[in-house]
Structure 1
Amino acid sequence: MKSRPNTENSPADTVKLVTALVILGAGIVGFYVYEDQPQIFRVLGILAVGAVAVGIAVTSNPGQNLWRFLQDARTEVRKVVWPTRQETVQTTIIVLIVVILVAIFLWLLDMLLSWGFQQIILPGG
């Protein structure tokens, strides 16, 4: 039986999350302040700052709950039975045929309604 995640947030969790947001914000500001530097260094810098911010956030209770949720989601995705290539191609062809048939039906219906309204609005013409 799985243990229920702790949903109570302590003041320390709030401090951790705010710290992570401040660090991330400082990284974004730094990205634009140092726009005269090579872009590769700026991108690597913001990735490093983002990793630090995520690392801090994950140490909080909400961060741990989110991490557990992502791990459970990954486990569930691995349980999915994905269709074979042949099934995917066949389904795609069926969908395309139905879309074409509905498009033709709507086009014919539009032509019929246009003709009918012209007969009503412009009698004899």
Structure 2
Amino acid sequence: MGNSYFSEVSPLYRALGVLVVGLVAAFVALQTEQGKAFNQLRKDSMVELRKVVWPSRQETLQTTLIVLVFVLIVALLLFVLDWVLNGAISMLIG
């Protein structure tokens, strides 16, 4: 509705207006009890995020390769199982 009402205004000004309205809405929301609780949760999450021990590049590559190999093995097993069952059903049906 806002885009229709303000269609003669430059899109840049409309985007800035949406940004300002969003910031005001966020400021008002942070003044409520739920907003304060959300903000505290955000702060606590940032503290916990700093405690995370991130894997090295080598660990990440090794884990990725292990997962890829496992997926390929499972895919191959499912292919063989499907092929065997398909042959058995074909023989059974005729």
TM-score, structure 1 normalization: 0.69
Inter-partner Cα distance in structure 1 for 2:41 and 2:4: 34
> Structure 1 counterpart of 2:85, which letter?
L
Extract unaligned runs of 5+ from structure 1: 1-28
Inter-partner Cα distance in structure 2 for 1:101 and 1:78: 37
TM-score, structure 2 normalization: 0.90
RMSD: 1.4
Aligned to 2:16: 44
1:90 aligns with 2:59: no
Q: Is the 8 A contact 1:31 1:43 kept in 2?
A: no
CA positional deviation for 1:74: 1.0
* Local SS of the residue matching 1:81: coil
The one of 66, 85, 88 aligned to 1:113:
85
Equivalent residue runs for 1:48-59 within 5 Å: 48-59=20-31
Q: Is the 8 A contact 1:31 1:46 kept in 2?
A: no
> Structure 1 counterpart of 2:11, which letter?
Q
CA positional deviation for 1:37: 3.2
The one of 22, 33, 45 aligned to 1:61:
33
Extract unaligned runs of 5+ from structure 2: none
> Structure 2 counterpart of 1:116, which letter?
A
Inter-partner Cα distance in structure 2 for 1:43 and 1:66: 26
Higher relative contact order (CA 8 A, sep 6+): 1
Inter-partner Cα distance in structure 2 for 1:60 and 1:42: 28
